[in-house]
Amino acid sequence: MISEEIVHVKGQPQKLVVFLHGYIDSAPALDRKINVLTDGLDNAAVHIPQAPVICEVHENKRQWYSMHRFDPDDARKFVPTMEECVAIYDRMGLGLAEAYAYLNDYIEERLDLYGLEAKDLYLCGFSQGAMLAMYYALQHEETIGGCVSFSGILTPHTYLLKHHNSAPDVLLIHGNADNLVRFEALNFTRSQLERMGCSVSTYVVKDGRHMVTEDGLAQALEYINGRHLKQKAV
C-alpha cells in the first residue's frame, strides 16, 4: 500500500494531479523540483505519492517496481539499437501490473476524497514513474483527463496495443540529450500511443538530459490547464 505522500491543495479542487517519482528517487526529492507546476495550478490538488518499495540499489530511495528483476545488467542503457532497448523494456510488464494494483487503490481513494471522477485526473510521471503513469492511463477502464510523461517510454507496448482499455490524451516531454532513457523513446512512444487512438502532444527539451526541467513543467502546466501547444518531435 502507498502510505506516504506530499500534498499541495489550492482553492477548491476541480482536478486531481498525481505525480509519480522515478526509480532511485523519492517523493520529497521530486517535490523540490516541481514548484513551477504546484505553484501554477489553481483549484487543484497535487499529490506526490511515495512508492512503497525500497529501492534495490539505494536503501534510502524508492522504486515502483524492480528494474534489475527484468534487466539485471542495465543493458537497456547500452544496447545499440532502439529495437533491442524496447525489447528489454517490454519484459517489465509484470512489474507494471503489480504497481498498477496498488496505485489504482491509492488514486481511487484520492478521487473519492475530493468528490472527483476519472475525467478530472491528470497523471504525471518522471522516468519509471512516467512508464507507470502511461500504463495506468491506458489500462484504466475510464478515460482520465490526461497523462504527462517526463523522460519515459511506453512499456510493455506489445501487450498494451492488444489490451489497453482506454485512449487518453498524452503529453510526452523528453530531452534530446537524455543520458538514461534515449531520446528515440519519444517518437517510438508517440507512434505506439497514436496506434491506440490517443491524441499525443510532444515537447522536446533542447539539450535536456534525464531530469524534470522548468520549461517541461511549464508545458505540463499549460497542458493540465487546457492551453497546451502541440510541438512536433524531431
What does the domain layout of the chain look like in residue ranges?
5-224
The predicted structure's pLDDT at residue 148: 98
The predicted structure's pLDDT at residue 103: 98
Q: Are 23 and 205 in contact (CB under 8 A)?
A: no
Task: Compute CA 166 distance to the chain's CA centroid, rounded to the nearest angstrom.
Answer: 16
Q: What are the DSSP calls for 173-229, one per residue?
A: EEETT-SSS-THHHHHHHHHHHHTT--EEEEEETT--SS--HHHHHHHHHHHTT---
pLDDT in tens, 83-135: 999 999 999 999 999 999 999 999 999 999 999 999 999 999 999 999 999 99
pLDDT in tens, 127-173: 999 999 999 999 999 999 999 999 999 999 999 999 999 999 999 99
Residues 6+ apart with CB under 8 A from 67: 23, 56, 74, 92, 128
Query: Mean of the pLDDT values across residues 39-49?
Result: 97
Q: Are 55 and 48 in contact (CB under 8 A)?
A: no
Is pLDDT at 227 greater than 70 in this prediction? no
Confidence of residue 229 (pLDDT cuts 50, 70, 90): very low
3-state helix, strand, coil in the chain (%, to 5): 40, 20, 40
Give the span between the Cα atoms of 64 and 67, in whole angstroms. 9
Is pLDDT at 183 greater than 70 in this prediction? yes
pLDDT in tens, 58-84: 999 999 999 999 999 999 999 999 999
Q: What are the DSSP calls for 23-67, one per residue?
A: TTB-HHHHHTT-HHHHHH-SSEEEEEEPPSEEPSS-TTSEESS-S
Is pLDDT at 232 greater than 50 in this prediction? no
Domain 5-224 of CATH type 3.40.350.10: no
Q: Are 24 and 30 in contact (CB under 8 A)?
A: no
Confidence of residue 176 (pLDDT cuts 50, 70, 90): very high
- Number of other residues whose CB lies within 10 A of the CB of residue 88: 18
Reported as type and span, the H/E element at residue 16 is strand 15-20
The predicted structure's pLDDT at residue 226: 85
The predicted structure's pLDDT at residue 231: 41
The predicted structure's pLDDT at residue 209: 97
Residues 6+ apart with CB under 8 A from 145: 15, 118, 119, 120, 121, 122, 168, 169, 224
